[in-house]
Chains A and B, each alone.
Chain A
């Protein structure tokens, strides 16, 4: 199996995605739904994954700099309000920029508290999560409530970005999809969903993945930022400005969370509304852990966690009422049987029992119903996060000193 670990990260994730598609295709053929690998599902998944992705990348910068940022959610909330406000005044690009700045201000607050004053990182993060909704409500009352369609908890409607379809590629994938070849056509159709009618903001979010990976692992500032999370004392002994790089990491973290908020406003909701982030900042943190504190891993985690939600958007409507979501239960059952077999071979008894148990529950559930309950898709991402982290977290390794206070000159 060493050839597997020698593959580059993107190739391993691509392989995993192809296997996942195979699983979906097989389940689809036995449970009489076509939505699992639908183009629309893929499109919805990508769109809904961007806020999680941006928050997760935000967490990446912060934790790599040694600061746990549980305040991603609060910074995202700041991003939603500022995004709406910016978009009302200057259009979509204004919204994007204002959201970025709003989140970055939240990051700056977290950095001042944790880096300069040594406040416990969890406490500061929770404080920001509590502060942000209050602040945005106050600002809404001052700014939005006078305007048409605006109120203390809501902004007037705002315009989003134009969307575009990648020419050539989308047509090519469409042709393969229409050939109706098992697995291959399903993959092509699904992939077409990723490149068709994509918004500029979505593209912008996806581009953050290679950009972040490059910045953190190939540049001077990235290396210095990462030493803050691994061994700041070693960095200090070589003259690295630890405080400065920690500030940088946390502020970028806030800026990306703010972008996530702006995305929700501009692309998903079309307006600012109190409470619209619905815990995506925390799912972003989960994606960060799932992705082993790597940019591409965060992307994989975000897509995985937003799949059930994207599916539900096409699955709960006039023609369909949850057959496809029900089929996901079978996917989970099969995947967990796979985990159980792997755990059995690795001699991990507890994991075998746990995976087997959840697989059994999912299978029984699948067999005893015809359609999924409508609350299931909303719950599934969270349940999925828990299940994945149960089994994955043992072999994950985050930055060594993330969460620990650091004072210059103390060894």
Chain B
């Protein structure tokens, strides 16, 4: 029997990156096949290719043994492939049945929708796969787990035999995950083939039959779930690389520069995305936060910087409570911030460099005098940043867009550092920049650390985290779940903490209550 899905040599290039590099994947009919990998490993791109949303540059796709090319999702749907997107594709103000039939409405002729036939078919599909929904419910009255069920039914309604679920558990609470897994088992028992994208290893091991690991756009291995442990998977996912950016001697003092106590941030659905987080950063210390993206790091730094408000808990700088202070007050009190997305949050791309340098510091010298912006002095000071931080540009009047990513980042670092902050929040400071610029950024952070700067470092680059940090805390599902010493850990172990794999392992073998406390101090 031919496999349900066979991908041979799939390659997809975007400007500057190879998202998928000669990927091979075989999914047997009737199995749950997980695709694992870090964020940015190329899983989503691969699934978009399989669902016809993007064409592959090279490679062959076979569905039930037949070679296919998809021009749009409709072609994939026709071949029995359906996708449940991570961000649910539902219209909140429409009913379940309207959402389900959209695009393939049964009609009585003359374009009149036959709602009775639609409901009958829906009930048929529902009972065949053990999924129940009320067709007349409005989507916005449903829980998130029920909405996901509607998405799955939507796919089944179209006769899909292969379901792709893109990180379906990301939005669910544990009970809902359990319910989803029961539904998936039932679907599998009824003959459906399921491709399950995830990076939470425990979940992957629980639900899947086979697992394919993707790293940096390449297929690393396909294994049977019964043959591997979470540790093996973590090793496959993260790979083994040597740490490089060592910080040298400790400069950590006992002065607490930034203190976060019991901080909780709720999202729109009232779920705790940051859950009772406490941490302390001392002068001269770099505290690294490790975690797979989406585990609450962004919300944590937003709450510290002041762009989001905390629901409970407090943030203190040098002992002073700044929990309700405005962003400007925080910055004027000595908080520096290197945002994770320099294009969206860090720069005005079409403004000249000197205006960009003044951003966030526009209220005082050297950028302004009283009410007025001091252009001469701003230009002058930007020139200093340019030379000291090696921002390669013809002058300070070119737009920020004209700079390469590395030089943009050095401008941001220079902007923050020349204001001599007491606390620096650095989110992915070297993401997407070349090796040379990366080394410069590391040097700047290290130099500031020697002068007593307290740094909170968030990074997906494990080498960077281990190399720069004095202490590493691991964030998982909004909580700080482990405190680790970077001198005693390698990326593989850290990776297994981040994916939650080591947590159950560690508690079984070497619990150490101090190691699991949320407070690194």
Asked whether A and B interact, the reply is: yes
Residues of A within 8 A of B (CB): 218-221, 223-224, 226-227, 230-231, 233-235, 237-240, 397, 399-400, 411
Contact A238 B102 (CB under 8 A): yes
Residues of B contacting A219 in the complex (Cβ-Cβ under 8 angstroms): 110-113
**What residues on B are CB-neighbors of A221 within 8 Å?**
111
Q: What 20 additional pairs, Cβ within 8 angstroms, besides A219-B111, A237-B89, A239-B77?
A: A219-B112, A219-B113, A223-B101, A223-B102, A224-B102, A226-B94, A230-B92, A231-B89, A231-B92, A234-B89, A235-B102, A237-B73, A237-B83, A237-B85, A238-B73, A238-B77, A238-B102, A238-B104, A238-B154, A239-B74
Q: Tell me the dominant secondary structure on chain B's binding face.
A: loop
Whether the pair B93, A400 counts as a contact (CB closer than 8 A) is: yes
Complex: chain A residue closest to B85, CB-CB: A237
- How far, in Å, is B483 (CB) from chain A's closest CB? 37
* Whole-angstrom CA separation of A400 from B113 in the bound complex: 23
Contact A220 B107 (CB under 8 A): yes
Min distance, Cβ B238 to any Cβ of chain A, angstroms = 28
How many residue pairs, one in A and one in B, have C-beta atoms under 8 Å apart? 64
Residue of A230, A237, A240, A397 ringed by the most chain B CB atoms within 10 A: A237
The smallest C-beta distance from A65 to any residue of chain B, in angstroms, reads 13
- B98 contact set on A, CB distance < 8 A: 223
Cβ of B105 under 8 Å from chain A: yes
Q: How far is the CB of A169 from chain B (nearest CB, A)?
A: 29
Give the residue name and chain of the A residue nearest to B77 (CB).
Answer: A239
Chain B residues within 8 Å of A230, by CB? 91-94
Closest approach, in angstroms, between the C-beta of A310 and any C-beta of chain B? 34
Q: Is B229 an interface residue (CB 8 A)?
A: no
In terms of DSSP, what is the predominant structure of the interface of chain A? helix
Minimum CB–CB distance for B142 against chain A, Å: 15
CB proximity of A61 to chain B, nearest CB, Å: 16
Q: Sort A-B residue pairs by CB-CB distance and give the 10 closest, nearest first.
A: A238-B103, A230-B91, A234-B89, A239-B74, A231-B91, A220-B105, A220-B111, A219-B111, A237-B89, A239-B103
In the assembled complex, B121 has its CB within 8 A of some CB on chain A: no
Chain A residues whose CB sits within 8 angstroms of the CB of B89 once the complex forms: 231, 233-234, 237-238
Would B90 and A231 count as touching, CB distance under 8 A?
yes
B72 at the interface (CB under 8 A from A): yes
Size of the B side of the interface (Cβ < 8 Å), in residues, is 26
How many angstroms from the CA of A189 to the CA of B169 in the assembled complex?
Answer: 63
**Which chain B residue has the least Cβ–Cβ distance from A235?**
B102
Given A220-B111, A221-B111, A239-B73: A400 in contact with B102 (beta carbons within 8 A): no
Residue of A nearest to B74 (CB): A239
B85: which A residues are within 8 A, CB to CB?
Answer: 237
In the assembled complex, which residues on chain A have CB atoms less than 8 Å from the CB atom of B154? 238
Q: Is B392's beta carbon under 8 Å from chain A?
A: no
Please, which residues of chain A bring their CB within 8 A of the CB of B113? Answer: 218-220, 223
Find out whether the CB atom of B103 lies under 8 angstroms from the CB atom of A235: yes
Complex contacts, A235 vs chain B, CB 8 Å? 102-103
Q: Map CB proximity to A onto B72-96 as digits: 1 under 8 Å, 0 otherwise.
A: 1110010000010101011111100
User: Given the complex of chains A and B, what is the CA–CA distance between A239 and B71 in angstroms?
Assistant: 11
Kindly report which residue of chain A lies nearest to residue B101, judged by CB atoms. A223
- The docked-state distance in angstroms from the alpha carbon of A73 to that of B331 is 49
A234 engages B107 (CB within 8 Å): no
Instruction: Report whether B93 and A239 are in contact in the complex, using a CB–CB cutoff of 8 Å.
Output: no
CB of A66, distance to nearest CB on chain B (Å): 11
Query: What's the minimum C-beta distance from A317 to chain B, rounded to whole angstroms?
Result: 47
A224–B99 alpha-carbon span in the complex (Å): 10
In the complex, what residue of chain B is closest to A232 when comparing beta carbons? B91
Residue of A218, A224, A231, A411 touching B112 (CB-CB under 8 A): A218
Please state if A400 and B91 are interface contacts (CB–CB under 8 Å): yes
The smallest beta-carbon distance between A362 and chain B, in angstroms, is: 35
Q: Chain B residues with Cβ under 8 A from A240's Cβ?
A: 102-103
Q: Assuming the A-B contacts A237-B73, A239-B72, are A223 and B105 also in contact, with contact meaning beta carbons closer than 8 angstroms in the complex?
A: yes
Cα A223 to Cα B98 with chains together (Å):
7
B116 nearest CB across to chain A (Å): 12
How many Å lie between the Cα of A221 and that of B103 in the bound state? Answer: 10
A221 to B112, CA, bound (A): 9
Supply 25 A–B pairs (Cβ within 8 Å), ascending by A.
A218-B113, A219-B110, A219-B112, A221-B111, A223-B101, A223-B102, A223-B105, A223-B113, A224-B102, A224-B103, A230-B91, A230-B94, A234-B90, A235-B102, A235-B103, A237-B85, A237-B89, A238-B73, A238-B89, A239-B72, A239-B74, A239-B103, A240-B103, A397-B93, A400-B91
B109-142: CB near A (< 8 Å → 1, else 0) gives 0111100000000000000000000000000000
Cα-based distance from A223 to B101 in the complex (angstroms): 9
Least CB distance, A303 to chain B, in whole angstroms: 26
Task: Report Cα–Cα, A224/B104, bound state, in Å.
Answer: 10
- With CB as the reference atom, state the residue of chain A lying closest to B76: A239
A234 touches B102 (CB 8 A): yes
A148 to B112, CA, bound (A): 50
Q: Are A227 and B93 in contact (CB under 8 A)?
A: no
